[in-house]
Structure 1
Amino acid sequence: MKFLLTILFLVYSSFSYARLPLDRDLVPVEHVDLVRYQGKWFEIASIPQFFQRKCTKNTTAEYTLLPDNLMKVYNACTIKNGTTISSEGRAKPIDTTNAKLNVTFAKLFDRYLFWFSGKYWVIYLEPNYQYAIVGHPTRDYGWILSRTPELAPDILKELTHYLKVAGYDPCRFYTTPQEGGLQTKKSLCK
């Protein structure tokens, strides 16, 4: 079932990428040092996605650099009954900037299938790698990530403004409840 959902997501992603003229306008950062980028990130806000529908709080992503220049991706969240669910995938840089990656959770016989992958573009990265915005050329996907479960209100406001500059509608982003952070889910417009 998880494999089928991943395929549907990627097919939708491919079709939506082809139909939007804005896709060439989304600009990734100049370079991402994958060694510095690895580690745990807390989701501060995101455009809600079907593959995260069960998540109610504590959504995180952990990245680990592997010897073959791939990144292990480990996503986890807490669901309504209080248990944690997770998924593991791989990310692969598509150019030397490391700012554009393809991410897949599709796996067959212990091999990750990158022909079923989604675009993961780092479009904003704080110089000390403390918070970031990850997007997709269609602007149908987006995440604000932080090394801590909470961002100062002025920083979140700055990132919300950056989303507008990058061509996103910030009203589509909803905060993610985190223990030690925001406790309610609400639009970044509110």
Structure 2
Amino acid sequence: MNKLKQALVAAMVLLAVGGAASAQEVKTVPSVDLKRYAGKWYEIAKIPNSFQKKCLSSTSADYAPREDGMIDVTNRCRTADGVDEAKGVARVVAGSNNSKLEVRFAPAWLSWIPMVWGDYWIMDLDPQYTLATVGSPSREYLWILSRTPTISDEQYENALNNATKQGFDTSRVVKSKP
């Protein structure tokens, strides 16, 4: 019985420690200048997800600020059948200094449903706006983005290390093909 109690206490401690690590909120950069962030970004790596499973290479995203404060989003990638393109819109989360966005690819008439908006949190961004790491607070989604189709090994490792420090399972990250 004593060993059973010890095992239970050990299990509870492990659960508490694991829960505390995952309960820590993902941190974003202090602020983002959306005009500088606008333009084309190439996907360098990601945690695989269901909505990009057809993408084989050349994955990119274009962001264009609109006069109404929203951002037009166009994602593209090469598939076995040619090029796939998804158009959406992003909105800034109030009080985030533009570092937290919500993105919707569903039709506009569904925008009132919270589930159609996906979190897009800018966790890391270099001062030149050439390299970014974007994730979600659930840690289910992660992208490493660059203004160029490739980055150095050092830049890649730094981005992975920063994501690991934020509690992302970077063993799941796969490099994207240019």
Contact 1:134 1:144 in 2 (8 A): yes
Measured in 1, the distance between the counterparts of 2:92 and 2:24 equals: 18
Q: Does residue 92 in structure 1 map to residue 105 in structure 2?
A: no
**How many residues align structurally?**
157
Contact 1:92 1:101 in 2 (8 A): yes
Measured in 1, the distance between the counterparts of 2:106 and 2:94 equals: 21
Call closer, same or farther: CA 1:175–1:66 in 2, change over 3 Å. same
SS of 1:62's partner is strand
How far apart are residue 112 of structure 1 and its match?
4.8
Q: Over residues 6-41 of structure 1, what are the superposed CA-to-partner deviations in whole Å (9 max), with x where a residue is unaligned?
A: xxxxxxxxxxxxxx8735421111001000000000
What's 2:53 paired with?
53
Name the amino acid aligned to 2:92.
P
Measured in 2, the distance between the counterparts of 1:114 and 1:72 equals: 19
SS of 2:84's partner is strand
What's 1:26 paired with?
26
Contact 1:104 1:114 in 2 (8 A): no
What do you get for the CA RMSD once the two structures are aligned? 1.6
Q: Does residue 154 in structure 1 map to residue 154 in structure 2?
A: yes
Work out the percentage of aligned pairs sharing the same amino acid.
35
What's 2:132 paired with?
132
Higher normalized helix content (fraction of residues): 2
TM-score, length-normalised on structure 1? 0.78
Measured in 2, the distance between the counterparts of 1:54 and 1:145 equals: 19
Q: Over residues 84-114 of structure 1, what are the superposed CA-to-partner deviations in whole Å (9 max), with x where a residue is unaligned?
A: 11010000001241001110011145x7556
What's 2:16 paired with?
none
Q: Does residue 80 in structure 1 map to residue 80 in structure 2?
A: yes
Name the amino acid aligned to 1:153.
D
What's 1:35 paired with?
35
Measured in 2, the distance between the counterparts of 1:26 and 1:34 equals: 20
TM-score, length-normalised on structure 2? 0.83
Contact 1:103 1:114 in 2 (8 A): no
Call closer, same or farther: CA 1:156–1:67 in 2, change over 3 Å. same
Measured in 2, the distance between the counterparts of 1:71 and 1:23 equals: 30
